[in-house]
Amino acid sequence: MNERETAPGGLALVESLVNTLDVETGTDSLDTTEGRAAFGLAGQDVSAARELREALRAACLAHAGHRPPGRSPAVLDELLAEAPLYVTVAEDGSAALRPAAPGALLSRIAEALASAAADGTWARLKACEAEDCQWAYYDRSPGGRRRWCSMSVCGARAKMRTYRARGRTPSGSSAPDPAPQ
């Protein structure tokens, strides 16, 4: 879905990791050398990255108000407990979390989430409501109520399904009106 802007700050890393799997086609860019290199992954790290990706997707779905069966955002909490981070203090006295292992994907994700949670942007990273999509996107809408990654694709499909389900009669039902008695 290319009508969207990338998420701000470190959330761009989170968004891009979630979007390594195209749910509709089953294409996983972590299956490619280039896809793994984009996240600094070695062969043995790929299964852990996939587990992290799906835990992040579950959290993004939860941000959008969806709870798919079999997935819990709580898994992300368990994974992040393993991320080594430390606090740094700058010359101006400001503090921030930093990865203890800068190249480690889990630590980089944990740093991004901590920063986004602190600045209030984490809850705006959502996953598309469409079951055949679930693409991560950053919700820039004023009310924070966006439901689809793309209104022109997933939103249009959902609205068309709703329209078809209502039927084409003026009353919105597909059954004929009862005969007068």
Q: pLDDT of the chain along its 181 residues, tens only? A: 445 688 999 999 999 999 999 998 999 999 999 999 999 998 778 999 999 999 999 999 999 888 776 778 889 999 999 999 999 999 999 998 888 887 899 999 999 999 999 999 999 999 988 788 888 999 988 877 766 565 555 655 656 666 666 776 555 555 555 555 5
Domain extents in the chain: 11-166
The span from the CA of 178 to the CA of 47, in Å, is 59
The CATH number of domain 11-166 is 1.10.3300? yes
Overall pTM > 0.85: no
Angle at alpha carbon of residue 165, lines to 160 and 170, rounded to 5°: 95
28: which 2 tokens?
Answer: 């996983």
